[in-house]
Amino acid sequence: MTSARIIAATLLACLGSAHAQPADDQMREPYQMVRSLQMLQDQIARGDLDAHNSQPALLKRLGENFLKADAAVWKEPRNSRAAVTFLLSGGSPQVVASLRSRNVLNIDEAIVDGAIAYVEGRTDEAKSKFANIKPRSLPAALGAEIALVQSALVAQDDLKVAIALLDEVRLMMPGTLVEEAALRREIFIVGQDDDFDKFEALAVRYFRRYRHSIYAGNFRQRFALSVARFSFVQRPDRFPRLVAVLDHLDRASQRALYLLIARTALVRGKTEMTVLAADRVFALSDDDSAERVRARLYRAAARVATSAHSTAIAELEQIDKAKLSERDVELQTAALAIGLNVRKALPEAKARSDGSSEAKTAMRPRIDFSRSLAAVDRAQKLLDASQEQLKEKTR
């Protein structure tokens, strides 16, 4: 079935009233409506923009139908579980809170209260309510959603527990948007836990299965930021393994990601990673492409405080500012300021040299960052602002 037909079928399943004739009841059970929602969301994981755009209207209509449903409908445990799944899948907390206040839901109150608390941002209460809930004791659709929430609630305190919970999510709901979300989260948590082997395996799985996901662009941005930050990828011997991970992407995606890695690494002072990533862009791009211009900028900027600073300065000066974005012009300005300070420092140190160990130490470049600090700071703020705008929405 095409995504368009799935969307149409999903919406049609929700058109009727919960008070319709018995012959139509099968199409209007809440648990079946939520199954339709999950079908739609699985299309989002496959990159269907129409499905993504249809989701808000569908969630709104489901909420309206839930509020209209007779109390007897919620005696069926599958329907009560569906209400919580709906909430944790992006549904309105007001809808579920209304059902909760009417005392019609046939489900553990701790699950309902925990879900409402989590969606409303009351994390301490949510953690308390979910403390004794075992996701594996519940049907997979709801259990996986709760495990996903539990992992988010414990991630700051216990990385190992968060990872174990996300493993459970992936086992319970393979091939779904729920697994896609679990993979995106777990990749960064195992990175913080310094587990490169698992980071590598999960990243390969994500890029193989979900490279076309609506959320993949956001994931690639965060992935680049993380790669530049995690200690395990700063080792040169591991860069080929990172290359092997990214080889699962098309060349355009690889170039975009290596540029993100190079720029992020540069701003964070990881110059070796910058050069390695920029070199990959050179290998994947055409001579006069805008991507190669950016790679030249990042690679030269990474070398301005090294023994190759003169060559780096010359290369930076040759790059046409008109071909750069505003934030890359900031980096170019900062890099040139640093390089010129290095050039100035070397002859001054050499003039003071008398062959002693102290003099040899003095000959090392003493870089004055005062001129470039403002530009570096502006560049970092631009990067942070970009990251903030790309923060993942609720899913």
* pLDDT tens digits along 144-155: 999 999 999 999
Confidence band of 7 (pLDDT split at 50, 70, 90): low
131 Cβ neighbours under 8 A, 6+ residues apart = none
Question: Which has the closest alpha carbon to 130: 152, 115, 141?
Answer: 115
How do the domains of the chain map onto residue ranges? 1-120, 134-214, 215-395
**What pLDDT does residue 194 have?**
83
* CA distances to 155, 247, 316 from 47, in Å: 28, 20, 39
pLDDT at 88 over 50: yes
pLDDT at 35 over 80: yes
% the chain with pLDDT above 70: 79
- In this prediction, residues 334-350 reach a mean pLDDT of 75
- In this prediction, residues 74-96 reach a mean pLDDT of 97
% the chain with pLDDT above 90: 59
pLDDT tens-digit profile of 121-168?
Answer: 999 999 999 999 999 999 999 999 999 999 999 999 999 999 999 999
Residue 368 parent element (H or E): none
pLDDT at 86 over 90: yes
Confidence band of 23 (pLDDT split at 50, 70, 90): very low
Alpha-carbon gap, residue 88 to 101, rounded angstroms: 18
* CA distances to 155, 157, 325 from 189, in Å: 8, 12, 32
Question: Which has the closest alpha carbon to 327: 382, 390, 281, 386?
Answer: 382
Joined together, the tokens standing for residue 239 give 């860069």
- In this prediction, residues 356-371 reach a mean pLDDT of 42
206 Cβ neighbours under 8 A, 6+ residues apart = 180, 183, 184, 187, 219
**What pLDDT does residue 393 have?**
39
pLDDT at 21 over 80: no
**Best-predicted range by mean pLDDT (109-113, 197-201, 387-391):** 109-113
pLDDT at 364 over 80: no
pLDDT at 261 over 50: yes
**What pLDDT does residue 234 have?**
66
* CA distances to 143, 333, 363 from 371, in Å: 55, 10, 21
- Averaged pLDDT of the chain: 84
pLDDT at 32 over 90: yes
- In this prediction, residues 81-85 reach a mean pLDDT of 98
Joined together, the tokens standing for residue 54 give 């249809």
pTM (2 d.p.): 0.73
**What pLDDT does residue 10 have?**
53
**What pLDDT does residue 369 have?**
31
Question: Which has the closest alpha carbon to 169: 153, 190, 149?
Answer: 149
pLDDT tens-digit profile of 189-228?
Answer: 998 888 889 999 999 999 999 999 999 988 888 887 777 6
Alpha-carbon gap, residue 329 to 317, rounded angstroms: 11
**What pLDDT does residue 268 have?**
81
**What pLDDT does residue 209 have?**
94
